[in-house]
Chain A
Amino acid sequence: AQSVTQLDSHVSVSEGTPVLLRCNYSSSYSPSLFWYVQHPNKGLQLLLKYTSAATLVKGINGFEAEFKKSETSFHLTKPSAHMSDAAEYFCVVSDRGNKLVFGAGTILRVKS
């Protein structure tokens, strides 16, 4: 069975400082991994995905994530936070049949 652990339920950063949202996964085979973002009272939007090509994945809005098989991690980073980045972020693993398994989410707060 696959699972996802997001290591922080809340992260608070100041505008202009780096963002790090941590994710560990468990999978019995080579997984597909995603990060989705959800702004308040909105649906989910795909930030980026890993599909066994490059281990460093670049996404929208300056976000990127690195797949580390040895650490079973897929942490999301951004060099400089913007106020508009305040949202909830979900790390997600997909099995062979398109079924998604979500982490519990990390709420990112950006202080001015």
Chain B
Amino acid sequence: NAGVTQTPKFQVLKTGQSMTLQCAQDMNHEYMSWYRQDPGMGLRLIHYSVGAGITDQGEVPNGYNVSRSTTEDFPLRLLSAAPSQTSVYFCASSQGGTSYNEQFFGPGTRLTVL
């Protein structure tokens, strides 16, 4: 199993550009989520999904869109990039249903917005 994969690993955008961060998992997990990591703030939840066709907002959703058309994929879209979105983005997945399931994290995407 590849686990959770993310592409690209690095990306530089100009303010106002849009892009999609890709996330895929091959573990047939129901639950998937996106976090951003900023220095001294830990990871903060952007959006999450409890299954195909179902998404919801996390703590910091503004400026981001998600969709979940398949169990495997959970892309994160930046609609109009801003310097405040410079961060490292992590995708995670877990089996759904309970709070104690381990979440598996991807390797991250480091995004810089100029």
**B binding-site residues for A, Cβ under 8 Å:** 31, 33, 35, 40-45, 48, 50, 58, 90, 92, 94, 96, 98-103, 105-108
Contact = CB atoms under 8 A, between A and B. Distances in A.
Q: Quick one: which of A32, A49, A99, A104 has the most chain B CB within 10 A?
A: A99
B102 A95 contact: no
B106 A43 contact: yes
B105 A94 contact: no
Contacts of B33: 98-100
Interface residues of A, number: 27
Nearest to B106: A43
Interface string A36-51: 1000001111100101
A98 B103 contact: yes
A43 B108 contact: yes
B90 A44 contact: yes
Contacts of A49: 100, 102
Interface string A16-51: 000000000000000110101000001111100101
A35 to B, nearest CB: 12
